[in-house]
Amino acid sequence: MLHRGGSAGVRYVNAYKYALLPRLYGRVVIVRSGGSHAMPPQKYALVKDTTPITCTSPADSWLKAAPRGAYTTARTVNRDAVFELDAHIKRLASSCQQMLENDAKAGGQHPSEELNKLSDAADLRPHVIASLTAAVQAFRQDSPQHEGELKLTVLISWESGQRLIQSHVAALPDRPQPPVKVQARGAPRQNATAKDSEWILLVTEQGLVLEGTQTNFFAVVDDTVYTAEEGVLMGTVRGVVLEVCRREGIQVKLEAPSIHNVDKWQGAAIASTSRLFLPVHMLEYQKESKPHERQFQYSKETSLLRRLEQLVLAEVEHRSETLG
């Protein structure tokens, strides 16, 4: 992912998306969990290459103030492994190459041999792993009480022609505990409670449930998994879900499910890097201006979504690589 630097660069795409919400979508769906999400004051760790430095800012604020560069955001699995580590390193290398090429076209100067190495994932790999390892160790030492997963952000910059790899670490909240509630409400500007962008799903005026601002969405109808294909972000975990379905022979239709036939839904789920694959237990929505509620129950023995959740979690673990 590219990072322009400055206050407007990091979240430009998301800001544009929010601006379009009232025009593109007729209602929103807000997701809440019945479990407790209380967390102690957040602590952060930051290293420059492998040297720890003081940091009191979350990743978004830190990125906005950081030098221009290429960044990626990852997560740990089972505390010490990183989900899709190799893919993240390749993404960093690709972003570096694109930015360096753009700089060369704009300035007329080709990058040095040393900077060209930033485009080589194999050359970049040991440096990224060393930086991440140092950052995770610094966080664990400063926050020994945190036994959960971590959010990892890596930024590569090259001010003054020198490579700098910075790694930021923060605690990742636990996956929400059931029951997870989904509420269909009015347009965003009419819904004062729709403040948590992580929990918003987007529904068109025609009643098609597309995605969340930070999640993908799935519904099961007649033992077939429905999820939108067009107009949505191709999330990493979404890709895992679809790959697992192909491998296990689970029927998939790349179509947005319709809230108008919610009575036929056997279940629903959201997916993202932070919560992985999470079944939804209750949907509250409006029909003919009256509140309705659709509850989903998932049997361990017969539920397709419960089976898919376990398969996805196992695949995520399989695709995670231990640091060091």
For residues 128 and 166, what is the distance between their CA atoms, to the nearest angstrom?
9
The CB density around residue 48, as the number of other CB atoms within 10 Å, is 15
Closest among 199, 147, 151 to 171, alpha carbons compared: 151
Q: What is the mean pLDDT of the chain?
A: 82
Identify the weakest region by mean pLDDT among 96-110, 141-155, 248-262: 96-110
For range 284-292, the mean pLDDT: 77
* CATH assignment of 43-171, among 3.40.630.30, 3.40.50.300, 3.90.950.10, 3.30.470.10: 3.30.470.10
The CB density around residue 199, as the number of other CB atoms within 10 Å, is 24
Across the strands, what pairs with 46?
Answer: 53, 168
Looking at residue 211, its pLDDT comes to 82
- The structure tokens listed for 151 are 């959010």
| Same fold for the pair 43-171 and 180-322 | no
Domain ranges of the chain: 43-171, 180-322
The model carries a pTM of: 0.80
Identify the weakest region by mean pLDDT among 1-15, 137-151, 299-313: 1-15
Q: Which range in 12-21, 45-54, 194-203, 278-287 is most confidently predicted, on average pLDDT? A: 45-54
Looking at residue 233, its pLDDT comes to 82
CA distances from 273 to 50, 74, 230, 263, 300 (A): 25, 8, 20, 29, 24
For residues 149 and 126, what is the distance between their CA atoms, to the nearest angstrom?
22
List, as one string, the DSSP characters of 261-324: GGGGEEEEEEEETTTEEEEE-EEEEEETTEEEEEE----TTT-HHHHHHHHHHHHHHHTEEE--
For range 138-152, the mean pLDDT: 95
Closest among 68, 43, 73 to 58, alpha carbons compared: 43
Q: Please say if the pLDDT value at position 5 is more than 50.
A: no
Q: pLDDT, tens digit, for every residue of 248-269?
A: 999 999 999 998 899 999 999 9
Q: Please say if the pLDDT value at position 11 is more than 80.
A: no
Q: pLDDT, tens digit, for every residue of 17-65?
A: 333 344 344 445 555 565 544 555 689 999 999 999 999 999 999 999 9
Looking at residue 114, its pLDDT comes to 84
CATH class, range 180-322: alpha beta
CA distances from 270 to 11, 16, 129, 180, 322 (A): 22, 23, 30, 10, 26
